[in-house]
Amino acid sequence: MNYQWIYKALVLVSFLGLSACSPKPAEEPKTSAFQPTASIQEIMNSIVDTNADEVWNSVATISTKEGTEERSPKTDEEWLKVRRHAITLLEASNLLIVEGRKVAEPGSSTSTVPVENSAEVIQEDINKHRPEFIAHANALHSATKEAIAAIDAQNTEELVRIGGKIDQACESCHARFWYPGEKLPVFPRLERPAAQKL
């Protein structure tokens, strides 16, 4: 009898048995590239509003009883300060559209204005029309890029003009998702009186 062959067979069977009983290596946990923690409301209050205000208010005309003051960045350092706020606003537009970010914390109010939708309604509308919401955020991104170009050129007139585009980008998104049912008041049309015949 060939005992060497039997010994090799037993070793092979033992090895296969141990391999089958060995625990499988743990799979790598699946992780998202982003971890959205703050809500859209929190990003708006803490990043978008504060930095947009700094860009808008960098150029202003202030009237007091002492006279009128024209405010605008004068030095390179002052322009750099405005640019930093604009860069933060630029990237905040990307934060708004990160997948999985909720509109607001459960039970929180998005506004004290009665015409504004609840956070739940806004969330549902954004989920249903996400490409449209992304387009609004991208409009804010594009307008802010133009503002940065005006800042780099130290062009106050252009910065004021682009500031209006930033405001329009924000307001158009709010009007679409936050208070789409708002009705603007209708004022009576003022007719010019007919010229009296002499």
Instruction: Give pLDDT tens digits for 25-69.
Output: 556 555 668 898 999 999 999 999 999 999 999 998 777 778 787
- The DSSP secondary-structure symbol of 48 reads I
For residue 151, the cross-strand partners are none
Nearby residues of 112 by Cβ (< 8 Å), 6 or more positions away:
none
Least confident of 57-71, 122-136, 150-164, 175-189: 175-189
Position with higher pLDDT, 6 vs 141: 141
Condensed to tens digits (0 to 9), the pLDDT of residues 19-34 reads: 555 555 556 555 668 8
**Range 179-182 contact pairs with CB under 8 angstroms and sequence separation of 24 or more:** 179/113, 179/115, 179/116, 179/117, 180/117, 180/125, 181/115, 181/117, 182/115
What pTM did the predictor assign? 0.73
**pLDDT confidence band for 198 (50 / 70 / 90):** very low
- CA torsion sign for 150, 154, 158, 161 is positive
CB 89 within 8 A of CB 125: no
Exposure string of 115-127, with b = 16+ CB inside 10 Å and e = fewer, is ebbebeebbebbe
